[in-house]
Amino acid sequence: MRAESAPYLPFADGRFRLALGLMPLGEAEWLEPDVNFAADLAAKRALLATRPAEVFAALPEAAQASAGLLALLGEHLPRHHADLFRRDGDLLENRATGERWDLAASPLHPLALAGRLVQEDFCLLVSDGATYRLVGASLCSPSRWRLADKLGRPLAGVHEPVPGYDTKLAQPVDRFLAHLKPGKLVWRLNWGIHDDPAPFQPVPPPPRPVTAETAGENLWLRVERQTLRRLASGGVVFTIRTHIASLSAALGKRETAASLAAALRDMPSDSQRYKGIAPFAAPLLAWLDAR
């Protein structure tokens, strides 16, 4: 069973901001394996076996970036996570699962293999000269978006449903990616609250009943730790590492509950609707206030 995980509380200052919020990241901290490592990889294998077209896709122009990502992982994992990975020539061994992969002669697409190695999801962005486009992804933990709807689209189109993205973030994102240098890693956090704890949610599931008494057990904090780095090929890899915990487990202190309540009250109504919070906002706030 997957353990609940809430290592980040992005709303701790009681504010809601639509901002890049990028922070520098060290090479050793790029990826984030935890106690759910084996369970999450097993869940990925199950999704790839049963719903492959929903969790993996790569356009032809993703080939160079995909190969570059796999090569990077082949160097990074045994160096920075030697407790989990061992490399012998072209063979990369996952000590937790017992899998051994030939990085030079795998029958899998390089991006598909990359997605099987770690808990992170990978999205590949390649510039067409004017803007960056999503050209491939291994995506086993989508937060209510479908890969088929986004593949091949420029970033402005990928983020079209996000309220305020076009006016506040589109130009800063494009400018940042254009100037991102190899070797520079950055990270940010994105968060939401769902009424279903499943990591794989390409579409919203049927709503569940939520009351002021049950919100803590029937709602889950979902935090995405996202990173960006340029590959040697020139493309950019965007990683998504998803942490999920019930509100009761995540909000251990009254100050934390107060901060979340303040952030929700600071969140515009269109953002609440986009994030799926609006239907249960009232009982959620009542539960938070009571804490």
Per the domain annotation, does 32 fall within a domain?
A: no
Per the domain annotation, does 214 fall within a domain?
A: yes
Q: Are 159 and 165 in contact (CB under 8 A)?
A: yes
Tens-digit pLDDT profile for the chain (291 aa)? 678 988 999 999 999 988 899 999 999 999 999 999 999 999 999 999 999 999 999 999 999 999 999 999 999 999 999 999 999 999 999 999 999 999 999 999 999 999 999 999 999 999 988 899 999 999 999 999 999 999 999 999 999 889 898 888 889 899 999 999 999 999 999 999 999 999 999 999 998 999 999 999 999 999 999 999 999 988 999 999 999 999 999 998 899 999 999 999 999 999 999 999 999 999 999 999 999
Per the domain annotation, does 69 fall within a domain?
A: no
Distance separating alpha carbons of residues 179 and 84, to the nearest angstrom: 34
Domain tally for the chain? Answer: 1
Distance separating alpha carbons of residues 226 and 188, to the nearest angstrom: 5
Per the domain annotation, does 196 fall within a domain?
A: yes
Distance separating alpha carbons of residues 136 and 130, to the nearest angstrom: 18
Per the domain annotation, does 177 fall within a domain?
A: yes
| Per-residue pLDDT, 234 | 82
| Per-residue pLDDT, 230 | 98
| Per-residue pLDDT, 233 | 83
| Per-residue pLDDT, 203 | 94
Per the domain annotation, does 29 fall within a domain?
A: no
Q: Are 173 and 166 in contact (CB under 8 A)?
A: no
Per the domain annotation, does 241 fall within a domain?
A: yes
Per the domain annotation, does 199 fall within a domain?
A: yes
Enclosing domain of residue 244: 45-61+119-290
Note the pTM of the prediction, 2 decimals. 0.95
| Per-residue pLDDT, 2 | 79
